[in-house]
């Protein structure tokens, strides 16, 4: 099941560039939350702070508190453990190109010490079913490589890979921006189904996509969270003029 995320006074830097400033945010469990804002506003940095990926850059720095399911991820947990609990899907599908479909999904499990063939088979099948890819690949699991799939299938394979290690949170950084409309709608349907089991945070430039899949939406601008409210409110009658100007295309 998904867990809630509580962010308090989060600040992040790349070198001297103060990219996130004083972010306070409560992301509800088992919902999809969309983050929108112009390029460079800090939304991708924000999600990378939620699984401690931001700090993998040597010039990056983070202060503040992030509680995931009550666990203080910067004080009480190791990055590897956090990244198991908080899966991530990126803009461009990145399957391991030389691995089969099966091995792509099982890779994270093997890293986490799973060796039992029967258990691996079960989890791979369940993950591919949860990512709505099973029916399309079940006959070629070990015959075809991940790279042989279409772009949309590759992205669903990456989602299966993230789901295989049983995360509580799924971060998606523009997961459909490189996909055609049919593949995009499959990813959106998938997000809709998955949010009953996982807490989903999705960064998107596509505001219609945010409106379609997310119950909550946050608007970032210049490293600050300008407004966070129900998606309905944000897209029909936002409280802040800057949010309205952005979503109506008056700047950005």
Q: Is 250 exposed, middle or buried (0-12, 13-18, 19+ CB in 10 A)?
A: exposed
Please state whether 84 falls in left (phi above 0), alpha (psi between -120 and 50) or beta. Answer: alpha
**SS3 call for 170:** strand
* 208 contacts another protein (rule: CB under 8 A): yes
Nearest approach in angstroms of CB 252 to another protein is 7
User: Could you give the CA distance from residue 89 to residue 204 in angstroms, rounded to a whole number?
Assistant: 12
Q: Which lies closer to another protein via its Cβ, residue 58 or residue 249? A: 249
Which region among 96-104, 158-166, 184-192, 236-244 touches another protein (by CB under 8 A)?
236-244
**CB of 110 or CB of 250, closer to another protein:** 250
Residue 247 in the binding site for another protein (CB under 8 A): yes
- Interface with another protein, residue 248, by CB under 8 A: yes
Q: Considering only 43-51, 96-104, 120-128, 244-252, which stretch makes contact with another protein by CB under 8 A? A: 244-252
Asked if 207 interacts with another protein (CB under 8 A), we say: yes
- CB-based contacts of 108, cutoff 8 Å, min separation 6: 84, 161, 162, 164, 165
In three-state form (DSSP H/G/I as H, E/B as E, the rest C), the secondary structure along 88-142 is EECCCCCCCCCCEHHHHHHHHHHHCCCCCHHHHHHHHHHHHHHCCCHHHHCCCCC
Distance of closest approach, residue 250 Cβ to another protein, in angstroms: 6
What is the pattern of x (binds another protein, CB under 8 A) and - over residues 58-77?
--------------------
Helices and strands (H, E) in the chain, number of each type: 10, 10
Nearest residue to 45 via CA among 32, 31, 59: 59
Backbone angles phi, psi at 208, to 5 degrees: -65, -35
Contact stretch for another protein (CB under 8 A) within 83-91, 165-173, 177-185, 232-240: 232-240
**Interface with another protein (CB under 8 A), residue from 85, 195, 235, 242:** 235
CA 223, CA 141: separation in Å to the nearest integer?
43
The answer to the question of residue 191 lying near another protein (CB under 8 A) is: no
Is residue 232 a contact residue for another protein (CB under 8 A)? no
**Does residue 237 belong to the site contacting another protein (CB under 8 A)?**
yes
Candidates 66-74, 75-83, 189-197, 242-250; binding stretch for another protein (CB under 8 A)? 242-250
Using CB under 8 A as the criterion, which residues of the chain lie in contact with another protein when the complex forms?
207-208, 235-238, 243-244, 247-252
């Amino acid at each position: 099941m998904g867990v809630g995320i509580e962010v308090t006074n989060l600040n992040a830097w790349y070198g001297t560039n103060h990219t996130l400033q004083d972010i306070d945010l409560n992301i509800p469990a088992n919902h999809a939350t969309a983050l929108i804002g112009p390029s460079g506003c800090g939304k991708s940095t924000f999600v990378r702070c939620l699984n401690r990926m931001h700090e993998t850059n040597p010039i990056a720095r983070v202060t503040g508190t992030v509680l995931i399911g009550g666990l203080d991820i910067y004080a009480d947990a190791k990055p590897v453990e956090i990244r198991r609990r908080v899966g991530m899907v990126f803009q461009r599908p990145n399957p391991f190109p030389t691995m089969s479909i099966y091995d792509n999904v099982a890779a994270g499990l093997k890293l986490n010490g799973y060796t039992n063939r029967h258990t691996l088979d079960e989890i791979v099948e369940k993950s591919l079913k949860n990512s709505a890819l099973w029916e399309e690949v079940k006959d070629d699991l070990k015959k075809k490589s991940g790279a042989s799939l279409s772009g949309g299938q590759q992205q669903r394979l990456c989602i299966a890979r993230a789901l295989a290690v049983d995360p509580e949170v799924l971060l998606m950084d523009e997961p459909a921006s490189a996909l055609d409309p049919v593949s995009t709608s499959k990813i959106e349907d998938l997000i809709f189904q998955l949010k009953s089991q996982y807490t989903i945070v999705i960064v998107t430039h596509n505001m219609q996509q945010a409106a379609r899949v997310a119950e909550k939406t946050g608007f970032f601008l210049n490293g600050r969270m300008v407004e966070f409210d129900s998606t309905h409110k944000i897209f029909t009658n936002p409280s802040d003029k800057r949010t309205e100007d952005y979503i109506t295309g008056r700047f950005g």
